[in-house]
Chains A and B, each alone.
Chain A
Amino acid sequence: MLSQVSSWRGDQYLDTGWVGPFFTLLLCVFILINIKRAGGAKDLFIRRIAGLNAIDEAVGRATEMGRPVLMVPGLSDSVNAIVVQALNIFSYVSRIAARFSNPILICCYSAPIFTVGQEVIRDVYNQEGLADKFDPDSVRYISDRQFAFAAGVSGLILREQAAATFFMGEFYAESLIFAETANSIGAIQIASSTEATQTPFFIAACDYVLIGDEFYAASAYLTRQPVLVGSLVGQDWCKLTVAFTIMIGLISNTVQLGPFKHTQLTEEKKDAKMKPLEKPRPASLNDTFMGNLFKKQSDPELKIERDMDPNFKPAEAPAEGGAG
């Protein structure tokens, strides 16, 4: 047996397991290369994103009416990139609001989000030289319980009579509660949910909606920061890579299944080894080159002898090592 498989040959790289890490690495490289490439270049093209052009208009209208701009950076349990991204967009919004000295209200779902929100928004006011105008209570923690949060925010929307509302980030069921409440008082609404399942409701109830990926493109679009624009280009490369990989798969699979005449197999790959079949069977997508490439098989017979730890006492029920 392969008992002396090198320790460098990690479990996740056995059979076709290497594809995953390799592919991930490739995407990361694409993104980083483009960030590097973007460097100073500021004039890189980004296609128009309707929702974002409406931001200034929305804030402007809020100022005319002298009513606050309300923002919700999604319902993530803790801070993650989605929250950061939402707050990046909101800091752009707050920047405009600050210049018009228009009140803002950011409703946070969890304490970590609240922490980052405070930090980021205060930053914005400082950069604009309006540190004294910043009201710490304009970034609020509402509740970390989904529907208490929903009740609280819709209460705020109605009482504060928000003129413009921004819902961006992770939204779930409550998305429609917010959207319809805001709609009922005639606020301009710009929304986006990374959850495809909620987008239709925003589409139904809001004025402008960023669909899926547009959310991540937003801050690049708004700020034209080379880093962001570069990474956006990189992301496009990644999407194309995915698309091409799929296309290659399409073609190779189509060929291997045998157009107009189904290929019959005489041997199949099982436990990471080719084994002959007693009677031929029609090939399936699991047997094709791509099929195997994207699905690692593990060899149960692969065993490795190691010396035992002298002072190790096994538990009464031996636990499997987590070599998963």
Chain B
Amino acid sequence: MSHENYLKLKLGIGVLATIGLYSVLFRENKFYRFFEHIFLGLASGWALVVLWTETLKEKWWDKVVGSAAINGDPATAGYWAYVLLIPIGLMGYFVFSKKHNWMSRIPIGIILGMWSGQQIQVWFNRYGPQMRDSMKPLLPTSTDSFFVPSTANLTDPAQIAQINAQVYPSEALTNVVYVFTLLCVLSYFLFSFEIKSKALKVMTTSGRWLLMIGFGAIFGSTVMMRFTLLIDRMYFVWIEFLKQGILGGS
């Protein structure tokens, strides 16, 4: 079979698989069930492959046994201590034993411990800059105009810099809204305080509403991607498979 025909066959099977999975939209049926189980099977099979080829071989085995010198690259020594990971991993398999199942907590403990340590390590890297950025000036530094004057027709960079540096009343107002939103949302997530004061009640309720605005916006921008992927699928089925593959158009 020529490579071209192979590609057509491949496209065809891809289309078939797509239809098979789409069929669940109508109702759960044997056709879907068939493709679902193939999907799960292939996925697990592939997981078993990459387990070695992508993870264990390079991150573990090569380090245990080292490597001989190949064109230019020097030989690397093997570090036997890595082999100790096997018994540690094996402990996980005690989970089904009635008597020793506690041992499965050891490898899990190591993984969890590392994750926990990392949380402490990354917290500030992630949130420090965001806190810094949230400290916006609430008062305008210039009242020449309410809105930011456009820099479109300006040429002198110094002048543009001046304007960009200024905080105009409209920006200050935006900042106030921003900060208000942030604080309201934060206050909505205070759990251990009984909200008695009227002001706080207002804050938490508006916090929830402002959250909804945020979620609405997220929904909006996510929709774009989901539809794009569908469109891409349709492009695959109609253009790549049917038009270019079968009908041999371009």
Contact = CB atoms under 8 A, between A and B. Distances in A.
Q: Do chains A and B touch in the complex (CB under 8 A)?
A: yes
Interface of A: 19-21, 23-24, 27-28, 44-47, 49, 78-81, 84, 112, 115-116, 118-119, 122, 136, 142-145, 147-149, 151-152, 154-155, 158-159, 173, 196-197, 199-201, 203-204, 211-214, 217, 220-221, 229, 232-233, 235-236, 239-240, 242-243, 245-247, 249-254, 257-263, 281-285, 290-291, 294-295
B166 to A, nearest CB: 6
B36 A152 contact: yes
Contacts of B218: 196-197, 199-200
A246 B182 contact: yes
A243 B127 CA distance: 12
A21 B182 contact: no
Interface stretch (B5-13, B130-138, B147-155, B235-243): B130-138
Contact of A236 (B42, B44, B192): B192
5 shortest interchain CB distances as A-B pairs: A249-B135, A148-B43, A282-B165, A294-B132, A20-B124
Contacts of A232: 191-192
A27 B108 CA distance: 26
Contacts of B67: none
A118 B108 contact: no
B112 interface: yes
A47 B194 contact: yes
B111 interface: yes
A20 B219 contact: no
B128 interface: yes
Counting chain A CB atoms within 10 Å of each CB, the highest count among B32, B43, B140, B195 belongs to B43
B142 interface: yes
Contacts of A291: 132, 135
B32 A243 contact: no
B128 A20 contact: yes
Interface in B1-39: 21, 24, 28, 32-33, 35-36, 39
A307 B104 CA distance: 46
B62 to A, nearest CB: 19
A213 B96 contact: no
Contacts of A261: 141-142
Contact of A282 (B96, B111, B166): B166
A115 B108 CA distance: 8
Contacts of B44: 143, 148
A84 B191 contact: no
13 contacts: A23-B124, A46-B191, A46-B192, A79-B111, A79-B115, A143-B40, A148-B44, A155-B36, A233-B192, A240-B190, A258-B141, A294-B128, A294-B131
B129 interface: yes
A239 to B, nearest CB: 5
B233 interface: no
User: Which secondary structure characterizes the binding site on chain B?
Assistant: helix
A259 B43 contact: no
B250 interface: no
Contact of B135 (A46, A236, A253, A284): A253
Nearest to B119: A81
A83 B25 CA distance: 30
Interface of B: 21, 24, 28, 32-33, 35-36, 39-40, 42-44, 46-47, 92, 95-96, 101, 104-105, 107-108, 111-112, 115-116, 119-120, 123-125, 127-129, 131-132, 134-143, 161-162, 165-167, 179, 182-183, 186-187, 189-195, 211, 214-216, 218-219, 222, 226
A239 B101 contact: no
A158 B25 CA distance: 11
Given A119-B105, A143-B43, A204-B219, A28 B28 contact: no
A213 B192 CA distance: 13
Contacts of A173: 226
Given A45-B194, A119-B101, A151 B179 contact: no
B191 A236 contact: yes
Contact of B47 (A143, A221, A284): A143
B237 to A, nearest CB: 18
B112 A80 contact: yes
B134 A23 contact: no
A36 to B, nearest CB: 15
A239 B39 contact: no
Contacts of B193: 45, 47, 236
A229 B167 CA distance: 43
Contacts of A147: 39
Contacts of B219: 200-201, 204
B128 A217 contact: no
A213 B189 contact: yes
Given A23-B124, A152-B40, A196-B218, A249 B141 contact: no
